[in-house]
Every structure is written in structure tokens, then in C-alpha cells.
Amino acid sequence: MLDLKLICEESNRVIQNLSRRGVDSKTISDICALNQDRKKMIQELEALRQKQNSVSKDIVRLKQEKKEATDELKNMKKVASEAKDLELKLQAQEAKLKDALLWVPNLLHESVPEGKTSAQNVEIRKWGKLPEFQFTPLDHEQLGEKLNLLSIKRAATLSGSRFTFLTGWGAKLERSLINFMLDINTQEGAYHEIFPPLLVNAETLTGTGQLPKFKQDLFKIENHDLYLIPTAEVPLTNFYRGEILSKDALPVQFTAYTPCFRSEAGSYGKDVRGLIRQHQFNKVEIVKIVEPEHSYQHLESLTQDAEKILQRLELPYRVVALCSADTGFGATKTYDLEVWIPSQKTYREISSCSHFEDFQARRMNLRYRPTSTAKPQYPHTLNGSALAVGRTWVAILENFQQKDGSVLIPKALQPYVGTDIIKM
């Protein structure tokens, strides 16, 4: 959530920045108008309360003087009724204003490149050598079926499209990747491991920005105020929601493995084959809550922490800075890590590393004190995938496949999987 004071006092700057995302200036002017009406109501309510106090004093004085106070009592009742009505109107106005604010995206950092589509994202760097096959490579679904690693058809009979059974070595590879990623994050990245709830309420999802805008992408539990999490970012970032932390508590660095659940609304016809886009998938997340002064250094280090895993797995990838139109609703700046997928002859997103500044902290009312006597301030939050497990599984199968249909296991992962090759 953006600071209301910033929106109304520097509306031109806010409008200019958000125009990079395609946000209409009317969105901001409407919020400022709502705020002006709210302020006017507050002034009117204060005037009524002052009038109540004045009439109340008159009634006390008249009673002390043993004089008639009928008119004053009638006036008091009338003023009290007007104040109550105005209080209700003010509450409705404040709710309307808050709702409007929840739909406004974050301001973009000045370094975010201009662009209207993902094609205008800017490549920052590449790592690794692309595989050169002396045979026609298979895609991961073909490999998985030949090696008995998955069963998409059987999953479809149970759950419909975009679900998968992983079996045998396929299941073990998935589990091994989860453990490998968590070990790297906790032993080398100084992240504190959490195993969070997979069901959260609407307030929690509002805190990280999934609600109200992305409600259609979520799975809601019928007759309950609970949703399946779309990412571990949600419970991890909300861990201290509503609290005031000491400076010594920062930086907070969390990591978690969770299953994630997304309806993929708007993705009809996209990535219908294989494991690239699923309703249920596994992901290891990293989250930081930090002081504003050093937060952009943390974005670089968080991105490098995710890159480290790809490098250990010897998977070729690139880092791209998302352009203005492709940067997510709550993010002020995002780097995507994209891994090479040979069957598609392209790089595909395997991690988004995002900086939110105080956007999420305001929505969660999460604050910290720079000193023991200082006024509470909002920290900055960051998160990224380290990594999307299913897409890493896909990348290993496709990049390490051999002519005979077997798949080599990256050296760093072999102690976890218990073999150096998966074969027929």
C-alpha cells in the first residue's frame, strides 16, 4: 500500500510514476478526492463534538442553577444523533478509501527499464554453457514417461488438468531438490527455516498484496475465511504482521519449502504440457525484512543466493530486469532468473526476486524502531524463489539427458538422490 500522504501531497509524481504501469491518473485523483471528503467529515464531526461539550456544560450549569434545561436536552439529543450518523458515514468513507488504496500498485524504482511487454525485459547477465546434443532431445514429459518418473494421465483422472503424479526416481528427485535447496539456504545463506501453515486468511493475503486484486488466482476453502497459499512468501512475510520489531531483530531472513496452489486464471492454453505450469507445485522461498537504508543491497544478495543454487546444479540461466509493464503489482523492482529449457529452445522463469520497499509492511502494519526511543518506521520486504522445484526438475531432465534416454544427476545433487544417473 502506498502512503496516503505521499499520494495526495505529491500526486503529480505518483501519477507520472504509475503511468509507466499504465495506471490511469483518475485512479489517483479519485483517491485524493475521497481523502478530502474524509477530512471534511472529520472536521464536521469534531465541530459536532465541540457542540456536544458546549451543550453538556450548559445543561450542567442550568441544573446547578435549578433552571429548566428542556431545550438544551433536546438539542443535545439532536447533536448526538447527528454525530452518530456522521461517524457511520466517516467509517464508510474510510473503508471506501482503504479499499481504493489496496488496488493501487507500488511505485516503480527509477532503475526499472521502460517496456510494454516481457519482450522488453533487459538481460543483465548469463551463466553456464548451453548443452549441445548430438541427437534430437526429448522434452521432460517424454523423458519422464520413458523413465517412469511421472504420470500426468493418471493425475488427470483424480484431479483434472495441470496436476501430476511423480513416481519412483521422479519423486525422489523432487524431494532431493527440496532438501538440497533448503540446505544451501540455511547453511550458506543464513536463512532461518520455517514450515508455515498452508492455509491463511484474507487479511494475510491482503498484507502481501494477493488480495483483493488477484482473488481469481487463489483457491478458497468454501464456507471458511481461508485460502490455500499461492507461495510461501505469504505466511513468511506475514510472520511478524502487526508487530513492532527492534532494530536488532533485522534483518529477518526466512526460507521455507511449501506446496503452492494457483488457479492459473488467465493461463488457458499456456504450457498445457508437462510440469511448467501446474495448479499444485513445490517451491522453496526466501524472504527478507530489512532496514530501508540497505535494502537494495539485499535485493542483489537475495538474487545471488537464488543464482547460487542454479550454479551448483550446473544449469545454464540468465538474469533479466523486468520492464515497467512486467513488474508485479506489489514490487518496485524485480529480477527474474530464467533457466534454459532445451525442448523449448528458450529461457523460462525459475525465480522472481523482488523488492517491495514498504508496500507490504504498510499493508501488514509491520514496523520497527531504529532506536529504543525512536518512532516506529516501516521496514522493507523482499522475496524470491530459491527455487521453483518443479521447474528445476524439468531443467535437470532436459539439460542432462543422454542419447540412450537416461538422465545424469548434477554432481552436487548426487548425495541427495543416491545415484549419478537415472536410466531405464
H/E element, 356: none
Whether 132 is a known active-site residue: answer: no
Q: Which CATH architecture has domain 118-422?
A: 2-Layer Sandwich (3.30)
Predicted pLDDT of residue 74: 87
Domain boundaries, the chain: 4-102, 118-422
Task: Report residue 144 as a C-alpha cell.
Answer: 519422464
Whether 273 is a known active-site residue: answer: no
Residue showing cell 500498485: 105
The predicted model gives 268-275 an average pLDDT of 71
Whether 21 is a known active-site residue: answer: no
Whether 262 is a known active-site residue: answer: yes
Whether 20 is a known active-site residue: answer: no
Distance CA 67, CA 73 (A): 12
Averaged pLDDT of the chain? 96
Distance CA 260, CA 325 (A): 25
Q: Which CATH architecture has domain 4-102?
A: Orthogonal Bundle (1.10)
Residue showing cell 545454464: 316
Catalytic residue from among 277, 312, 318, 369: 277
Catalytic residue from among 301, 318, 349, 406: 349
- Cα angle 5, 83, 79 (rounded to 5 degrees) comes to 145
Predicted pLDDT of residue 56: 86
Catalytic residue from among 354, 362, 391, 398: 391
pLDDT(250) > 70: yes
Predicted pLDDT of residue 81: 93
pLDDT(23) > 80: yes
Catalytic residue from among 176, 351, 352, 354: 352
Secondary structure in 3-state letters for 168-186: CHHHHHHHHHHHHHHHHHH
Express each pLDDT in 43-97 by its tens digit: 999 999 999 889 888 888 888 888 888 888 888 889 999 999 999 999 999 999 9
pLDDT(266) > 60: no
Cis check for the bond before 212: say yes or no (omega within 30 of 0): yes
Catalytic residue from among 162, 262, 348, 367: 262
Predicted pLDDT of residue 35: 97
pTM: 0.93
Express each pLDDT in 64-79 by its tens digit: 888 888 888 888 889 9
